[in-house]
Chains A and B, each alone.
Chain A
Amino acid sequence: DQQVKQNSPSLSVQEGRISILNCDYTNSMFDYFLWYKKYPAEGPTFLISISSIKDKNEDGRFTVFLNKSAKHLSLHIVPSQPGDSAVYFCAASEGAGSYQLTFGKGTKLSVIP
């Protein structure tokens, strides 16, 4: 049973445009959500997180939106840059304890110059 779903395995976006990566979850107990970015042959790196008490968190070009009623979150990257090309993983937990993280399968973003 996949509790965190990233239904788009890949996404291509022109440089300078907005990238929107989506994530859905089924476990209503999840209340802390994270996005990780992964380059080939490297470990994932933390990008941004959001707690369920918020519906938006922004960090520079990256914004995460949370819709608790729809059990949906999204990552917006504006403007997209070629260096953003990577695999993005959505993760969720019941509370902020890391060992509870459940990851999605990832979405491969390609930003075309």
Chain B
Amino acid sequence: SQTIHQWPATLVQPVGSPLSLECTVEGTSNPNLYWYRQAAGRGLQLLFYSVGIGQISSEVPQNLSASRPQDRQFILSSKKLLLSDSGFYLCAGDGFYNSPLHFGNGTRLTVT
């Protein structure tokens, strides 16, 4: 089975500070990886997905970026956080074409 590790679980950052959230995957090779965000009162919004090392597709233009330096590592970053970046960030992955998406436990980010 596949395990998605995310850290930290909670994070409070001031406006204008940088951000780096890391996600690692166990139990599969060459997974498709995704970053989702759940903002207050909203559904899960796909931010980025990656089909392989160095391959990033952005779904929503924003203040964030993503990188995939290794097959099982996916990083979400920002150079300067905005208040609107607050939310619950979820990393997810799938290893097979027909497999459902597996999620990590998420990071609750509060920008103050």
> Which A residues lie at the B interface, using CB under 8 A?
4, 6, 34, 36, 41-46, 49, 89, 91, 96-99, 101, 103-106
Do residues B99 and A44 form an inter-chain contact, with CB atoms below 8 A?
no
A41: B residues at CB distance < 8 A:
9, 105-106, 108
**Residues B46 and A46 in contact, CB atoms below 8 Å apart:** no
Contact residues in B for A46 (Cβ distance below 8 Å): 100-102
Residues of A near B45 (CB, < 8 A) are 103
Q: What are the residues of chain A within 8 A of B98 when measuring CB–CB? A: 96
The 4 A-B pairs of least Cβ separation, nearest first, read: A43-B103, A103-B44, A46-B100, A105-B43
Count how many pairs of residues, one from A and one from B, have CB atoms less than 8 Å apart in the complex.
Answer: 57
Q: Are A45 and B99 in contact (CB under 8 A)?
A: no
Q: A6 to B103, alpha carbons, bound, how many Å?
A: 21
Which residues on B are within 8 Å of A, measured CB to CB? 4, 6, 9, 32, 34, 36, 41-46, 49, 51, 57, 90, 92, 94, 97-106, 108
Main secondary structure of the interface of B (DSSP, over half): strand
B43 in contact with A43 (CB, 8 Å): no
- Please tell me which one of the listed residues A42, A43, A98 contacts residue B32 in the complex, with CB atoms under 8 A apart: A98
Compute how far the CA of A101 lies from the CA of B102 in the bound complex, rounded to whole angstroms. Answer: 12
Q: Tell me the bound Cα distance from A69 to B57 in angstroms.
A: 33
